[in-house]
Structure 1
Amino acid sequence: MRGGYLAGRGAYMIRQITKRIWFRASLFSIAAILTALVAAWVAPFIPYELSLRVGGKAVDNILTIMASSMLAVTTFALSASVTAYGSATSTVTPRATQLLIDDRFTQNALSTFVGTFLFSIVGIIALTTGLYGAEGRVVLFFATILIVAIIAITLLRWIQHLSSFGRVRDTIERVETVARRAMQAWAKAPHLGAQPPVAVPDSAVAIYSAEIGYLAHIDVTGLARLADRQDLTIHIAGLPGALVHAERPLAHVVGAFDDEARKSINAAFSVLQDREFEQDPRFGLIVPTEIASRALSPAVNDPGTAIRVLGSVQRVLCDLVDTDRGEDAGRHERVHAPHLAIADMFDDAFRPIARDGAQIIEVQLRLQKTLAALAGHAPSSFATIAAHHANAAFTRAAAALGKGDDVAVLRAAARLVRREP
C-alpha cells in the first residue's frame, strides 16, 4: 500500500518513469551491449580446446542474420502496437490508450527486440575490429544461442498477445483491473490515509496551483511530515481528478509557515493535463462509461458492450464496501481530505448509459438489475442513490420507448430497485 497508492512524490515520479517504454528499451539495450562486450573479458577463462570446436565464422553468420531479422521484427512489432493504440482510440476511448501503452508485456517484447538488434550490431562491430580472440568468439557464440532462444519464446508469446491486444474486451478488462485496484486502495485507506474533512477555520491560508490541469497524485505522507515538523494542520481541498487552476485552492493550511514550506506543500500536488487511475477511483468509473456510450452510439450500435461495462462497473463499486480498511487508514492526524462521494460515482457510472441507451430495452433492463443488485448488496451505502438513478433511468427510457410491453417490463424492474412489490 505505502509503496503505491500512498507513496511519496519521489516514488510516484519513479513509477512514472519506469512505465515509459523508452526506460525498458534502454535497460534491455544496455544489457545486450554489455553481454556482447563482456565476452572479451571472459575469454581468458575459456579452454583453448573448446574454441577449436566452434567455427570462427559461425558467430559472424548468426549475428548477421539476427541483425537483419530483428530490424524487421522490431518494425513489425511497433506497427502492430501503434495499430492497437489507434484502434483503442477510435473504437473504445482515448482515455484507455495509456493502459495499452503501459502494458508490460508489450514493452518487454519491444525492448527485447531492440536489445537483440543492438546486441547483434555491437557483436558484429567487435568481431570486425578484432576485439575477440578465438576464446571470446566461443563466449559470444553461446550468448547468441541463449538470446536466440529468448527471442523465439518472446516472438511466439507476442503473436499470441496480439490476438487480443487492443480489442474492446481486452481494453474493458484492463480498465476494470486498474479501476478496482484504485477503489480497493481507497477503501483500505479512505481520504488517502488522512482524516475526514472538518470545517476549515477562517484563519486558514489557501495554497493555489501555478498550473492548470488535473490533480494526478497527492503526496499525503509528505504533507503529514511537514505538518508534524512545523505544527500545521493541512486541509486538502480536492481529491485526485479535480481540475485545479489559479482560482481553486489545492489546500488550506492552519498555522504559521514560511515560503519554503509553501513550496513543499505545492510540490506535494502533482498536476497533469490528463487524469490518472491510481488515486482517482472516479476516473475508473468514467472511462468504462465512455466505452459504453461509444458502443451505444448509432454508428456503432453495440449494446452488448454496454451490458458488459455495467457488469464491470458493478464489480468496481462493490469493492468500495467489500474491502476491509488497512493499517494506513487515518494514520495522518494533521491532514484532512474530502470524502469520495457515492452520489458522484453513481452519476459517473450510470447517468451516461441511461441517457445514451434510453431506447434500448436490453441495456435499460440490465441497468435496472445492476442498480437493484447494488442496492441489495450494500443497502446502507447504495440503496437510496440506486433508487434515485433507477427512477431517473426509467423516466428517460419510458419517454424514449413510448407505450408498450417494454415499458411495463422496465417498470417492474425499477420497482425491484426501490424494493416495491
Structure 2
Amino acid sequence: MTATQLRQWWADLLASFWLRPAVMTLGAILLAQLLVQSEGSLDLPAPLDGWVYAGGTSGARDVLGVIAGAMIGVAGTTFSITVAALTLASNQMGPRLLRNFTRDPGNQYALGALVATFAYSLVALRSVHEAEGGDFVPQLAVSVALLLAFGCVGVLIWFLHHVATSISVERVVALVHGDLSAALTALPRGERPADRSGRAEAGLHPAGETAPLRAPGGGYLRVLDDAALADWAEEHDATLCLRLRPGGFVFPCSVIGEVAPAGAQGEAQAALGRAMSLGDTRSVEQDLEFAVRQLVEVGLRALSPGINDPFTAIAVLDRLGAALCDLAGRELPDGHTVRGGRLRVVRPATDYPGLLDAMFHMLRQNGAGQPAVMIRLLEVLAEVGAVERDPDRRQALYRHAALAREAALAGTDDTAARAAIEERHARLPAALGMIAPALASRPRHGAA
C-alpha cells in the first residue's frame, strides 16, 4: 500500500462507524479483567469504601446480568430507531448525506458506551463463582459496572437529543458547509499566477513522442498525489499530462493521460498507480465540488414539487455564499506542478467559474419559479462580490447574476417580485465595483 493509499485508508478508518465503539469495547474488557484480578489488593479511602458493592454471589450475578441485558437491549432498540429516522431524513435530504451521520463522533461514542458496558458486565460476570474455599465476588468490578450503567442512562438521554437535532435540515446544511469551509480555508492565500494560461497551454501538449497511460483500476479518484508524480517526473526528466482530476470517475483500463518521453511509459504507469487512491465514494479532501453538490442536492430536494420548501433552499444559498467568502483571496489549485523550473505534471482542476457553475446552475434552473429564492440568490452574489477583489472572479459572479435575473423574470408574472428582482440586479455593478454599461456590452454565456 502506497503512502497516498495509506493516508486515505487511515482517513476512512477514522470516519468509520465501528472504530471508536470497538476501541471502547476493548478498553472495557481490559478494565474489567484488571479490576477482577486486583480484587482485594487495592486499599480504597474510607469515604469510598462505603460505596463499594458488598453483596453475595447471587446478587452480583443478578446485577451484572441485568446491566448486560439492559445495555444490549437499549443499544439495539435505540439504533434501530436511529436507522428509521435516518431513512426518513435521506428521503428529504438525499442518501449521499447519510455518511455524515455515520462518521459523527457523537453517534459512535454513544454506541461505544452502550456496547462497552455490555462487554464489561459479561467479563465481570464470568468471574463470579462459588467454591469450597469461599465465594469470589469482584466487588470493585461490580461497583464500577453500576457506575457505568448510570452513565449510560445519561448517554441515552443525550443521544436521543443528539439524533433529533442532527437530522434537522439546518444541522445537515451546517455540517456539510463545515467540511467545505475547512477545505477552502486550507487553500493558500495569494495572487493568481500571471502566466497560468501559458502554462496550461504548454502543458496540454508535452514535447516529444508520448505514450498513453491507463487506469490501474476503476472507481472515483479520491486523492491524487501531484507532488509524488512531479518528483518522479523530475527524476526521470519526463512530463505527465493527465485527463482526470479528483472526484472524477475512472473507468478500468481507460486512457487517463500520456507521458513524454514514450520510453518512460512503464515506470510512469507504476508511479501513477502509487499516486492514485480509488474508491466507491468521493472525498472532499481534494474535491471541492463534492461538498458543493451535497449542499446543492439539499436545495434541489427542497425545491422539488413534493417538498416545496424554499426556506431550505435559501439556507443552502447562504452557506454557498459563505463558502465563496472564505475562498476570497485564496488560490484554487490549477493542476500544474513545477519541478526544477519545468512543468512536470498537468491535470484538469476546478476553477472559480466551474465552482460557481456547480453551485448555482441547478439551483437557478429549479428555483426559477420561486421569486424568494431568486431574490436571495442575487443578494448572495452581491454579498460575495463585495468581499471578492479579483476582477475575473467578479465577472464570473456577474455572469451568474445576469443568468439568475433572466430566469427569475421568465419564471414569474408577479409585479412586485419582478420589481424586487430588477432592484437587486441593479445593485450588483456597484457591489462588484463595476460599471453596468461596460458589463452589458459583454456577451452572456448560456446555462451549462
Task: Write out per-residue CA displacement over residues 228-253 of structure 1, whole angstroms, 9 at most, x where no aligned residue.
Answer: 55454444433211222257544443
- Corresponding residue for residue 360 of structure 2: 350
Offset of residue 174 of structure 1: 0.8
Task: Write out per-residue CA displacement over residues 319-375 of structure 1, whole angstroms, 9 at most, x where no aligned residue.
Answer: 22245899xx97976444444211111111111111111111111100111112222
Q: Is 1:56 the equivalent of 2:66? A: no
Tell me the distance in 2 between the aligned counterparts of 1:251 and 1:225.
17
- Corresponding residue for residue 42 of structure 1: 38
Task: Write out per-residue CA displacement over residues 109-144 of structure 1, whole angstroms, 9 at most, x where no aligned residue.
Answer: 1122112112212222232487xx878713313432
- Corresponding residue for residue 396 of structure 2: 385
- Corresponding residue for residue 247 of structure 2: 241
Do the aligned residues in 2 keep the contact of 1:386 with 1:417 (CA within 8 Å)?
no
Equivalent AA in structure 2 for residue 122 of structure 1: V
Cα distance change of structure 1 residues 82 and 385 upon mapping to structure 2, 3 Å threshold: same
Deviates more, 1:29-38 or 1:206-215: 206-215
SS in 1 for 2:38: helix
Do the aligned residues in 2 keep the contact of 1:214 with 1:241 (CA within 8 Å)?
yes
Tell me the distance in 1 between the aligned counterparts of 2:63 and 2:346.
63
Pairs within 5 Å for 1:8-407:
8-43=4-39, 45-46=41-42, 54-57=54-57, 58-128=59-129, 137-187=138-188, 197=200, 198-202=203-207, 203-227=209-233, 229-246=235-252, 249-255=255-261, 257=264, 259=266, 262-323=269-330, 334-379=344-389, 380-402=391-413, 404-407=415-418
- Corresponding residue for residue 426 of structure 2: 415
TM-score normalised per structure 2: 0.81
Do the aligned residues in 1 keep the contact of 2:93 with 2:169 (CA within 8 Å)?
yes
Ranges in structure 1 where 5+ consecutive residues have no aligned partner: 1-6
Do the aligned residues in 1 keep the contact of 2:353 with 2:396 (CA within 8 Å)?
yes
Tell me the distance in 2 between the aligned counterparts of 1:300 and 1:258.
53
- Corresponding residue for residue 4 of structure 1: none
Tell me the distance in 1 between the aligned counterparts of 2:231 and 2:61.
59
Tell me the distance in 2 between the aligned counterparts of 1:223 and 1:103.
34
Cα distance change of structure 1 residues 331 and 18 upon mapping to structure 2, 3 Å threshold: farther
Do the aligned residues in 1 keep the contact of 2:212 with 2:265 (CA within 8 Å)?
no
RMSD across aligned C-alpha pairs, in angstroms? 3.4
Cα distance change of structure 1 residues 258 and 39 upon mapping to structure 2, 3 Å threshold: farther
Offset of residue 383 of structure 1: 1.5
Task: Write out per-residue CA displacement over residues 252-281 of structure 1, whole angstroms, 9 at most, x where no aligned residue.
Answer: 434554746523421321222332222111
Do the aligned residues in 2 keep the contact of 1:179 with 1:281 (CA within 8 Å)?
yes
State the percentage of identical aligned residues.
24
Number of residue pairs aligned between Structure 1 and Structure 2 = 409
Cα distance change of structure 1 residues 412 and 351 upon mapping to structure 2, 3 Å threshold: same
Tell me the distance in 1 between the aligned counterparts of 2:310 and 2:234.
53
Cα distance change of structure 1 residues 114 and 403 upon mapping to structure 2, 3 Å threshold: closer
Do the aligned residues in 2 keep the contact of 1:374 with 1:382 (CA within 8 Å)?
no
SS in 2 for 1:298: coil
SS in 1 for 2:277: strand
Tell me the distance in 1 between the aligned counterparts of 2:149 and 2:394.
59
Using CA pairs below 8 Å that are at least 6 residues apart, which structure has the higher relative contact order?
Answer: 1
Equivalent AA in structure 2 for residue 385 of structure 1: A
Cα distance change of structure 1 residues 47 and 273 upon mapping to structure 2, 3 Å threshold: closer
